[in-house]
Chains A and B, each alone.
Chain A
Amino acid sequence: MTRSPRHDHAAGQDRVRRRRQSIGEEPMNKIFEVPLYAYERSPDQDAASSVRHKVIVIGAGPIGLATAIDLAQQGVEVVVLDDNDKVSFGSRAICFSQRTLDIADRLGAGQPMVEKGVFWDAGKVYFDDRQVYEFNLQPDTGYANPAFINLQQYYFEKAFVERIRELQADGAPVEIRGRNKVEAIGTHDDHVKLEVETPEGPYNVEADWLIACDGANSPTRRMLGLDFEGRVFEDNFLIADVVMEADFPSERWFWFDPPFNRGQSALLHKQPDNVWRIDLQLGWDIDKEQEKRPENVIPRLKAMLGEDVKFDLEWVSIYTFQCRRMERFRYGRVLFAGDSAHQVSPFGARGANSGLQDADNLCWKLKLVIDGKAPELLLDSYSRERVEAADENIRMSTRSTEFITPKSDMSRLLRDAVLDLSEHYEFARPLVNSGRLSTPCAYSGSSLSSADALNGPDITRPGSACPDAPLGDEFLLPKLAGKFTLLTIDADAPDSIEEGGVEATRLALSVKDDPTLELKRRYLGDAASAAYLIRPDQHVAARRDTFEENAFRQAIRRATGKE
């Protein structure tokens, strides 16, 4: 999609590009400069009549690329159209959660992300002119992936593009068309028609299904006359990527109401390549042109980092956001995923992370519908489940926003009391809210879930995303990827069951497979045995203490929108 709107989110303007000041015009990072999916003429442009594809994805950002990989891995023909041809400029989304990494693993792209990404476990919290406390995160054990990594969005996108190249080399039906800008969309009962502009002129193309991953300013949404509902909160951030010497501590620093940014917040975050990300909250009613001038930016950065710290600005941008979502994410043959469907405040890393979960939720359903193994109605469950997730993300990030920028005098008084107490007493620290890291939504009321029939742990109740668990040298989640799985733990069951063309294959485990007992803690609790039906997106559809054929056949029908 257009770099500037996605890049600036709602504002779609006010971007500045700045090179490293100390080394003249030399590009900091070639990754911004080289087209990753350069324009090439497609046979579609010379066809006598519009070519029909199975799925067209608009936008080659993180969500569009993930969607294309997921579909291509399942053999669904997919074309990605993007009006640009490069990865995103500047770091943008930088914090990727464990669930995102688990999904990326399923998509065959997780490993390079984790290898490149950085992890921090120490942080400092400042209030006014002083440090109120510092913390060390306790590492979670028994998961293949870390709780999160920090990684510039361009590396995230690059890993996905490389994965698409790999799939193409294996003959998978996936294509990215750079500098293909969708100018008009016609919707029909069983397909969509697109008018696409290219450097060599326009062409028409059709698709059975259209997935709009074209960002907060989604031209698709606009062209279809659809809008967001619920404007909860609006704010501006000055975000900067700063290159510093490697010995600067690898910690997260958060400032509430600091002297250099009165009444607002500031955040310092480590990224790979000795790049630090700085987010300075500016408030809603500001002069953006004024704020992003170097003579205004640099003194603030010096106040944050210390007068003696040498740094170079790699990238500066003004980021604007609002908290809102579309009423629903499916309109006939058009599906919306990622920022095009919902936007949240940046606190808690719920933008790209929730978008990845959209793709994760959507693709297996679309595959079943395309194959005629599930009714189209199954796609409405995509909308319902991900609307529930969007509401949860908006609620969580709104709470963080309220703490960081209190709306009323009393809210500020309470916030300041928490911060003052946090300096002295441990109990107040969990109340300090500078963003709660995104965790996957457990679809609580989903029509795809069967009633819970196991006296088991809450974290694996129907609707939940399966937590990982160690299995000797291996882990659980890779064994649950991309298909319906009948997971049994010390329970008998057939090797597979098929219901209405949908097969669930058994994964037979025992608590003995995990001497650390995390498998038991996460999947059995006090129960002696369990049988789980797990969806292709690794969410629990049903669970009981033992396998019972009729119940699991019914659970498969429910999970595929047939009950």
Chain B
Amino acid sequence: MVTATALEAELLALAGSVPDPELPVLTLSELGVVRGVRVQDAGAVEVELTPTYTGCPAIETMAADIRQALRERGVQDVTVRTVLAPAWSTDDITDEGRRKLREFGIAPPRTTRETGPVALALGPTRTLDEDPVRCPHCGCADTELLSRFSSTACKALRRCLACREPFDHFKEL
């Protein structure tokens, strides 16, 4: 583990403060996708970014936004490198990020704290279990799955059975 310099810490905070292009209520650090910043000998800066999903189309916009933010701080030579390992998980979304998602009307992912594949049972579409997906609007725990895939790959479409509002759920990965 290389100790980060004060400059690296500052640039990391700056890169992390860039808003997510698809969920602008979240910053990239709240989403947990900025892995590190290294200042190289000649002053060149390398930022490590990890995709949420392998095919996430937002990654290129994220990289461009990070380069822009660092240039505005006076860093001209910025390379954003995509890293796959260790794989991003929804557990990497910070507590503040989860709070903002809920406020934005998206049910945050439940904690998985697991490694390896997500085991999915062939079960009913309602989740009245010990850790239900709650409606972000009214907080009701009785919600049903409408579609496993929603407006983006990372979300599922659900409906609240109390207030009847449909909502996006940031599904566990």
Partners in one complex: no
A residues engaging B (CB < 8 A)?
none
